[in-house]
Amino acid sequence: MVEIIGAPFDLCGAAVGSRLGPAAVRMLGLVSALHELDVEVCADSDALDMLHESPTDYSTKVRHAVEAYRAVSDAVVASLERGNLPLVLGGDHSLSIGSISGALRHYGTENLAVLWIDAHMDLNTMATSPSGNVHGMPVAALTRLSSGDRPTSRPTGSSWSLAARQSGWDAWQTILDEVVPEGGVRHDRTGWVGLRDVDSGEVGNYQKLQSTTAWTMHQIDDRGIAGVIDEIDAWLVRTGATRLWISFDVDSLDPLHAPGTGTAVYGGLTYREGHFLAERLHSLLNDPSRPYKLAGLDVVEVNPMTDEAGETAKIAKEWVCSLFGKRIMGALP
């Protein structure tokens, strides 16, 4: 049974507002839409309280963030122990540090693969991030990349203060020591799809990882979404993973369809490419001949504050429905 876990937290995104994402997606009838697909939803609650204010001090933000990751991780572990399938509604993408850590705690590093559906790699560390926004770093945390030595000076040209850099570094250590389990997500079981905005620090970090796999928009253009999905399936079989966590950032979709998100980039998945990906993943995840099953998923970065008439929340809800078996055109005889 699906267990919805709201994570109304956004202090690590580009702008505040995605803390309202879970409310918007729920308000559009996610639970009843899943019921219509004969998917049982057994619980729908939040893992943490929504802050009513937005602290601007960096050390306060990361302190709240680490608490949010712990709370989401615990909620995911509790859900998996009950035999449920957690659906985590964000919030900014840094929350996946919590959700996927929870899945790692339950399933173990040997069993879990992660598919990161996103315009961005989210692979910066505190050492390479241009912004300090942790929503650009979750994959680096989950694959346990180091942020280097604790900074003692402010690099030239950086907009971060030294105090902020140090509190970021301290938070990173806490995340690696106390949130992400030993082993983390195995590098060869980390895959991205939909990439089109990767910065130079991330390219350097990507080169440090071994055997990770990325399908950029260029490859989707080249091989078609169906061809890329076949490659994702072959990759998952090759990894030997028995469980897949899907982390869906709504900015993977083109901003024509999903304008209400923190870091929109043109040239994303079209409406049909996005749904086709979800529909095919549904078929694969429910195919008894496939060795992997769904562990859980994140749906993140829906920001109702910058959305256009709820379009982004709507497509996020529809995407989840496609992943759980909906066919947009219905089933023809």
Ramachandran angles phi, psi of 265, nearest 5°: -135, 130
Smallest separation (angstroms) from Mn ion to the CB of 91: 11
Task: Judge whether 106 counts as a catalytic residue.
Answer: no
For position 307 contacting Mn ion by CB under 5 A, the verdict is: no
| DSSP one-letter string for 154-220 | PPTT--S-HHHHHHHHHHHHHIIIIISPTT-S-GGGEEEEEE----HHHHHHHHHSSS-EEEEHHHH
Question: How far apart are alpha carbons 7 and 169 in whole angstroms?
Answer: 24
Taking the least distance from each CB to Mn ion, the nearer of 139 and 244 is 139
Question: How far apart are alpha carbons 91 and 7 in whole angstroms?
Answer: 6
Report how many residues bind Mn ion under the rule CB under 5 A: 4
Only segment of 122-130, 169-177, 278-286, 323-331 that touches Mn ion (CB under 5 A): 122-130
Taking the least distance from each CB to Mn ion, the nearer of 41 and 269 is 269
Among residue numbers 77 through 106, which ones bind Mn ion (CB under 5 A)?
93
Q: Which of 46, 202, 249, 298 binds Mn ion (CB under 5 A)?
A: 249
Catalytic residue among 10, 46, 118, 273: 118
From residue 252, alpha-carbon distances to 10, 144, 174, 211, 270 in Å are: 18, 24, 29, 22, 9
Smallest separation (angstroms) from Mn ion to the CB of 92: 8
Task: Judge whether 120 counts as a catalytic residue.
Answer: yes
How does strand 293-300 pair with strand 243-249? parallel
Task: Judge whether 298 counts as a catalytic residue.
Answer: no
Task: Judge whether 218 counts as a catalytic residue.
Answer: no
For position 122 contacting Mn ion by CB under 5 A, the verdict is: yes
Taking the least distance from each CB to Mn ion, the nearer of 195 and 295 is 195
For position 10 contacting Mn ion by CB under 5 A, the verdict is: no
Smallest separation (angstroms) from Mn ion to the CB of 122: 5
| DSSP one-letter string for 53-121 | S----HHHHHHHHHHHHHHHHHHHHHHHHTT-EEEEEESSGGGHHHHHHHHHHHH-TTTEEEEEESSS-
Catalytic residue among 46, 197, 301, 307: 301
How does strand 243-249 pair with strand 213-216? unpaired
Taking the least distance from each CB to Mn ion, the nearer of 34 and 121 is 121
Smallest separation (angstroms) from Mn ion to the CB of 50: 20
Of residues 162, 222, 228, 169, the one with CA closest to residue 193? 228
Catalytic residue among 10, 92, 93, 275: 93
Task: Judge whether 257 counts as a catalytic residue.
Answer: no
| Beta carbons of 321 and 37 less than 8 angstroms apart | yes
Taking the least distance from each CB to Mn ion, the nearer of 34 and 232 is 232
For position 46 contacting Mn ion by CB under 5 A, the verdict is: no
Question: How far apart are alpha carbons 299 and 233 in whole angstroms?
Answer: 21
Task: Judge whether 177 counts as a catalytic residue.
Answer: no
Smallest separation (angstroms) from Mn ion to the CB of 319: 15
Residue ranges binding Mn ion (CB under 5 A): 93, 118, 122, 249
List active site positions: 93, 118, 120, 122, 135, 249, 251, 301
